[in-house]
Structure 1
Amino acid sequence: MAELSAEDAKLVVLARGAFGRTGSGQGAAVRDLDGRTYSAGAVALKSLTLTALQAAVSAAISSGAEGFEGAVVIGASADDQGIAALHEVSAQASVVFARPDGSVIEE
């Protein structure tokens, strides 16, 4: 398993919480440039569909975040549209893919 910083390990915990809480099959957490964290599960409504990462990025941006340091996603793939949203705001933001048990997926 890859060694994560303490801050990224915290994002894994938050993403796992969102994954378990929502039952959506996805969980994500992001850390903004001020160190604030936001987590979310996927949203699947008739009128609105968001991946977990899109939802977490949206929550952060709507709360005033101006950029991101990193993100953790569970149950998502490398083509998740949330990655594009994250990198639109902060091209250098890291993305860690993890399993539901919290272990990091090596890429």
Structure 2
Amino acid sequence: MPDLDAEDQKLVTLARSARARTEAAEGAAVRDTDGRTYAAATVDQPSFQLTALQAAVAAALSSGAEGVEAAVVVTADALVKESSVHAVRDLAKDAPIIRTGPDGAVQEVLR
């Protein structure tokens, strides 16, 4: 897997922190087109559920982001959930979605 640049490595750190802080199944982070970052963890409530990446994209949108440059998902799962991919692709057709394991090692980059 490719080495990440400093900005993408920052997303990994933020996503891992969000996951660890809440002991959630996933953590995620996105960088918007202005360079601002947003992190979130899985939301699993009786009335609604969000993947970590959906929650991070929602945080970016609710803060006025108009697009996404890159996204990271930290998960033990072997695949990024389809709903997570769609959340990013709604804003950016070509933004990389980086999947890492809980240790932060890059497992896959979706383009």
TM interval, shorter chain, is over 0.9
Task: Answer yes or no: is 1:68 the counterpart of 2:65.
Answer: no
1:28-66 CA distances to partner (integer Å, 9 max, x unpaired)?
Answer: 000000000000000000111000000000000011000
* Cα root mean square deviation, aligned: 1.3
Amino acid at match of 1:67: G
Displacement over 3 Å in runs of 4+: none
Q: What is aligned with 2:13?
A: 13
Measured in 2, the distance between the counterparts of 1:100 and 1:24 equals: 11
* Aligned residue in 2 for 1:36: 36
**1:38-53 equivalence runs, <5 A:** 38-53=38-53
Q: In structure 2, how many angstroms separate the alpha carbons of the residues matched to 1:12 and 1:35?
A: 15
Q: How much has 1:92 moved relative to structure 2?
A: 1.3
Return the alpha-carbon distance in structure 1 between the equivalents of residues 15 and 62 of structure 2: 19
Q: 1:54-92 CA distances to partner (integer Å, 9 max, x unpaired)?
A: 000000001100000000001152333121011111111
| Residue segments in structure 2 that go unaligned for 5+ positions in a row | none
Cα distance per residue 1:1-43 (max 9 Å; x no partner): 5200111000000000011011111000000000000000000
Corresponding position of 1:24 = 24
- 3-state SS of the aligned residue for 1:17? helix
- Contact (CA 8 Å) 2:73, 2:80: kept in 1 or not? no
* Identity across matched positions, percent: 51
Comparing both structures, which one devotes a greater share of its residues to strand? 2
Unaligned runs of 5+ in 1: none
Find the counterpart in structure 1 of residue 88 from structure 2.
Answer: 86
Normalization by structure 2: what TM-score?
0.91
User: Which amino acid in structure 1 is aligned with residue 73 of structure 2?
Assistant: V
